Amino acid sequence: MKKRTLGNSGLEVSALGLGCMSMSSGYGPPADKGQMIQLIRQAHDLGVTHFDTAEAYGPFANEELVGEALQPIRNQVVIATKFGFDIDIETGKRGPGTNSRPEHIKAVADACLKRLRTDRIDLFYQHRVDPNVPIEDVAGAVKDLITEGKVKHLGLSEAGVQTVRRAHGVQPVTAVQSEYSLFWRGPESELLPTLEELGIGFVPFSPLGAGFLTGQIDENTKFDPTDFRNHVPRFSPDARKANMVLVDLVKSVAQRKGATPAQVALAWLLEQKPWIAPIPGTTKSRRLEENLGATNVELSTDDLKLIDEITSKLNLEEARLPEAALKMTGL
């Protein structure tokens, strides 16, 4: 597995990481813990060194899973987790919004360290910007944690460019994590140029469009009642039907390359910038192997030009998140 460095930070990660959320939440009932521990360790055996989790996934169950799985190989991997929602650190009970008060951030860090069975968090993201706490205070709290040795790097998730700049002025931001794929290219207009200017890495989540770009989903697909995609406008049956033109494009390129649609979608992301390190998630061994195979798919200049020409003319239907969730992002 090739490595990439997140911006100017010196933090080296595998070109493709593993987003672990779906193992515990988001896409239906939690997967079998024992099987997921095996999957995480298989990912490492295949070259993955970057594992992404959050206190909110569960809450807590995903961090506990990742901590147990990676404990034997802790010094060989980068663990990223997140703070920022209003979650009781003892009970896991969720409040209605965000909480990035400095004292809460520090308490969450200590709780995360225990669940992750480690003495440091490699990359600590603010999960969503807290409108009630100046980002300078947030960055300052993480700076304190870095000074104490509990955290190595600061990250921001779904933050706007001005928020990134303000945080970066207090404590250098190593990575910004946001949704980015052929299914949603919003970061290209302002965020990516800002990150390049400041020397900050970018970690796209949902790099396969929450599964849409795999070609395994159409307007007739039924999701589990607990799957978040039931509430996403872009995943309504009508929107899925209208947006299949994008999947058809990815499939056509994949066929020419002897690859799968998922591999082409990931290869396209890897070609955008050398400091982009996507974190596709899965609960299946065969999908893990398929996704990691994307690092061997080479898209030519003509391939990339064709994809850009066609996708620039597409007007994909509906929003990427429900309205309430969109209000919590800076993009």
Who's near 245: CB < 8 A, 6+ residues apart? 314
CA distance 75 to 120: 10
CB atoms within 10 A of CB 187: 23
CA distance 184 to 264: 15
CA distance 99 to 96: 10
SS (H, E, C) 22-88: HHCCCECCCCCHHHHHHHHHHHHHCCCCEEECCCCCCCCHHHHHHHHHHHHHHHHCEEEEEECEEEC
Who's near 123: CB < 8 A, 6+ residues apart? 11, 78, 79, 80, 81, 152, 153, 154, 155, 174, 175
125 catalytic? Reply is no
Catalytic residue among 27, 57, 125, 180: 57
**Contact predicate 116/79, CB 8 Å:** yes
What residue spans of the chain are helical by DSSP H?
Answer: 33-45, 61-70, 102-115, 135-148, 161-170, 191-198, 237-257, 261-272, 285-292, 301-311, 323-326
Token pair 């147990």 is at which residue?
A: 68
Give the residue numbers marked as catalytic: 57
